[in-house]
Copies of this chain bind each other. A is one copy, B any other.
Amino acid sequence: MSVLDSLKEDIEQINRLLPREADGELTALLTDSQNYSLSAGGKRIRPLIVLLTARLFGGKRASAMPYALAVELIHTASLIHDDMPEIDNDDKRRGKPTNHKVFGQSTALLAGDGLFIDAFSLLSSNAELDDAANIRAVRILSRAAGSLGLVGGEFIDVLCEGRKIDIETLRTMHSKKTGALILAAARLGAVAAGVAEEDERYLDISEFARGIGLAFQIVDDALDRVASEDALGKPIGSDERCKKATYLSFYTPEQALRLSEEITEEAISYIEKYEGSETLISLARELAYRRS
């Protein structure tokens, strides 16, 4: 089994690591709904970046795993809320009915709230690492996910819906909405490996993550127009129909895909000097060169 596959397999254990209570009957359905979305698959890019970065810098898988899961909890929470009628009003996600379609809107709302907060329980209870590392992890993830990060990016997205926006605004939105959490994932991996903030490796992995976060979003926009509905798991062209701001307002799909490849290669240049960076690099290329 490849490193990537073995890590992915570990990540799929995510539900077993969720906090559960002894007398859990009353909140069993809340946990069910969270598990439904957590186990809905997806590419697991963010936790993979945490684990691969930790591995690259000599960290242990067990130390990095709670950080990896915490990032996936935040990501899943944001998808649950993003799909709700208040935001995108999507019926499907990854080919399955969205959380609120299965469990109802009040449960979906609370499932997301719970996951956002539980992520910080995971970080702060990571017994493999010391308080200094764990508090750095909380600082990194809370800033990346909160009102100035992911949630702020979602807000800009809602605000801009149906309006013509400039490329600066689009970049700001995506750097928050997608970029911030991918950057946080890489940094959490570095923290799990004991890499200090002023260490060159921390700066390099940050540049790498910034690049692949941007490339990832550009490919996503391009694929929304060209890919088949089956492969994407959501109606194709849905972004365009809803007049969402995408990179395709500024580039043709072909230009966008080329741009994403260029950005990815530049991102890779920051980490290829490190021994063992091949898996992280191949993940980056897989994302940039994917066509579905």
Contact = CB atoms under 8 A, between A and B. Distances in A.
A96 interface: no
A86 B106 contact: yes
Interface string A93-137: 000000000000111111011111110110111000001101100
A151 B120 contact: no
Contact of A118 (B74, B112, B147): B147
Contacts of A86: 105-106, 108-109
A236 interface: no
Interface of A: 18-19, 21, 23, 26-27, 29-31, 34, 74, 77-78, 81, 84, 86-87, 105-110, 112-118, 120-121, 123-125, 131-132, 134-135, 138-139, 141-143, 145-148, 151-152, 154-156, 158-159, 169, 172-173
22 contacts: A23-B172, A26-B155, A26-B169, A29-B155, A30-B147, A34-B147, A81-B113, A86-B109, A87-B110, A106-B158, A107-B155, A110-B154, A110-B158, A114-B147, A120-B138, A121-B139, A123-B138, A131-B134, A134-B135, A135-B135, A135-B138, A138-B138
